Every structure is written in structure tokens, then in C-alpha cells.
Amino acid sequence: MAGKTAFETRYGFARNQVLLGNWRQSPFSRWSFQNVGELVPSARVAAVPGSGETPVQDFDGLLDEKVALAGGSETVAAFLTRSDTDGLTIMKGGKIVGDWFAPHMECGARHIIFSISKSLTAILAGILEGEGVFDSQAPVTRYLPEAAGSAYGDASVRHVLDMSVSLDFEEAYLDPESAFARYRRATLWNPGGGTESLAAFILTLQHLAEPHGRTFRYRSPNSDLLGILLERASGQRFAELMREKLWLPLGATSEASVTVDREGTARTAGGISVMPRDLARIGEMMRQGGMANGRRIVPEAWVRDTVSTGGDTEAWQRGTMAFLFPQGRYRNKWYQTGAASGAFCGIGIHGQWLYVNPTAEVVIAKMSSQPEPVDEPLDVDTVAFFEALSRMV
């Protein structure tokens, strides 16, 4: 019998076992989350030419430290394993102070960030708004007249940005017969796609009885629609826009990518893949009020509104995620935790996090391959873990 290949030794399965129908399932996600472009069509977002980095491996001293979580104390190393962490980068005061990678992930590898893609897309909206190209108070139909017959026909861009569209749609991640499964097929993330485009699907969605703006409803199509609105407003394709307005000015050192549908429409709600360090740089830019490398990338007023002053507390409390941040708010596709530290974050399914603690001057990028799309008890522990880690570094 032939021995295991290097791939099988590293990941515990053969490459040909990873299919479009199982790429988000464990254990295959340990590989596929770093190689989405081999399964789903993707557009490239180039980085700074000739850039490259060496990992900072001074994380070992923290691994045996204990952190207090809901179920009791646990070492940092144990939590990283329990939460299926693939890669972790920590910044303190603007400097990278530690990188940690699971055996199946290398420094410099890209990893899908799922719904943190929403947060990056909103940054582009803020940039274009600062340039006078995009208006967050405008009706959706200003940029997309064909939305008139959908739930978005009487919605504003602000409703889209703050997830307060009254949309008849559920994030049923595990139901193969749901509208969500049809949505995934339209993005080419599931088998059977290619007959309906992402934009066409979004424009079939209808209104609930409740008016827009009243309740925070986490609905991913809002964020794909935002990407389409940005393309209409700017006249640029999303990958080009991201490269020109964000990735190159940020000084990102690794190429990013975003999955696209049959028409080339970017999956801006969840299809972006980046390196952990570059994700941390996004968080640091937000901590610095929109500045990076001595230049302004995002308007300071937009960042302040996003991470501290904006958002509707009552709409958040009416939603289903208030358990995670009881005093929190949601603004421009970023979460305000309501903590005394002023912490804010972007979150993606399967354990993707970008956590920023302004008081401690700490940014943490965590990429994971958790088996379940949503694990609420683990999310609560993860927030406590970040708070503890912020005090330790």
C-alpha cells in the first residue's frame, strides 16, 4: 500500500476529497479556506510589488498563560486549538508583536474572512463618500433603478449599510432547501449554480411588513448589494476599486482575492480572502482613524461614526445578536461592542475575527476553520479571550 502524500500528512485527507459540495465542512475547510480560488471563480486584488514578510515568532511565551472564560480558565494554546484557529496576528501600538499558525497554515497564506468582507466593503463606501462619489443617505434606486420592484425599492443606502433593511430572507446556513441555499448557488459557492446571477437573485427579495430602519437584521444579500452599488457609483469593478482605494494605499503585502459569480459580480458579503497580517493592518488603520503609512485612506469622521458615535442602539436591541454585545451597536458593517475599552470588530462565520481595542492599542486578526458556521457560546468565549489577550500583550 502506498504511503500518504505530503498533502495527506499535513491535512489528514486527500486533495481530491475537497469538493464544491463540502468545502465549508470540517476537516476539508482546513485547506479550502486557504484556497477558495481553486473551487470558486475569484478576482485578484494585487498588493505592493515585491513586498514580503517574515513571521514574528515571539508568541510562545503567551501560549501557557491562562485566560478566564465562561466555562473556567483555559490556556491560550488550548483555546486556539479548541476554536480551530488557523492563523492569528497581534498588533500592539501599531507594531506586529506576534504571529501564530496552525501546522496546516503558513505565514503569508491567504484565508477567506467570510463576513469581515462586509466590513472591508463598507470601508470602500466610506472612501467613496469622502470623495463625493457615493451618498449613504441616497435611495438605493439612485444607483440601481432596477431595484424598484424589490425590498430595496424604498430602502436607503444607510439601511443597507446598517443592516436595517426589512428583508424577507433568513441566514439558514445549513438548510439545503432554503432561499439561502439558492443564494449560495447564485454566488457559485454551492453545486448547481450558474443559472441565476447574484444580482438577479437579490432583486427577487421582498419586503417584510415592518418598515426599514427599525430592526437590525443580519442579512448577507445587503452587503452583496452594497458592492453592486459601489460599482455603479464609481464605474469601477470591485476588485479594481479595492486595489486602488484600499489595498495599495494600506501597504498590504499579500495579494487578496474575492469570489465572483457567473457575471463577475464580487461576493462582497463574504468572498474576500486576505493574509492575517493584512487583515490586522485594516484594523490598525481603523484604530488610527483612517490613517496608514502617514496618509489618509478613509475620512476620520466616517471612521469615528463607524466605531464609536454612530449606530442605533434600539435597532440593535431588537435584533438577534444583542446577547454578544448587550451594550453594542452596528454601524457601517462594523460591530461596536459597547465595552469601556471602546473595542469594535468585524466578524465572519466559521470563526473569523478582526478585533480592535483602542484603549489597549491592540489589534487581533483571527482566522479559523470552526466546523459550525455559527457557535454562539464560542463567540462569547472568543470576545473574552480577546479582552484577556489585550491585557497580556
Which residues are the active-site residues?
115
Q: Which grid coordinates belong to 297?
A: 485612506
Q: Would strands 42-45 and 344-348 be described as parallel, antiparallel, or unpaired?
A: unpaired
* Residue recorded with cell 469601556: 340
* CA 115/CA 108 separation, integer angstroms: 21
- Cα angle: 8, vertex 12, 17; to 5 degrees: 75
Nearest to 216 by CA among 321, 139, 303: 321
Name the nearest CA neighbour of 245 among 134, 346, 142.
Answer: 134
The secondary element (H helix, E strand) that includes residue 11 is helix 6-11
In 3-state terms the chain splits into helix, strand, coil percentages (rounded to 5) of 35, 20, 45
Q: Phi-psi region for residue 311, left (φ > 0), alpha (ψ -120 to 50) or beta? A: left
Sole residue written with cell 448587550: 326
Say how far apart CA 372 and CA 351 lie, in whole Å: 9
The neighbour count for residue 221, using CB atoms within 10 Å, is 27
DSSP secondary structure letter of residue 309: I
- Rounded to whole angstroms, the Cα distance separating 252 from 282 reads 9
Please report the DSSP string for 47-72 in residue order: -STT---------HHHHT-EEEETTE
C-alpha Rg value of the chain to the nearest Å: 20
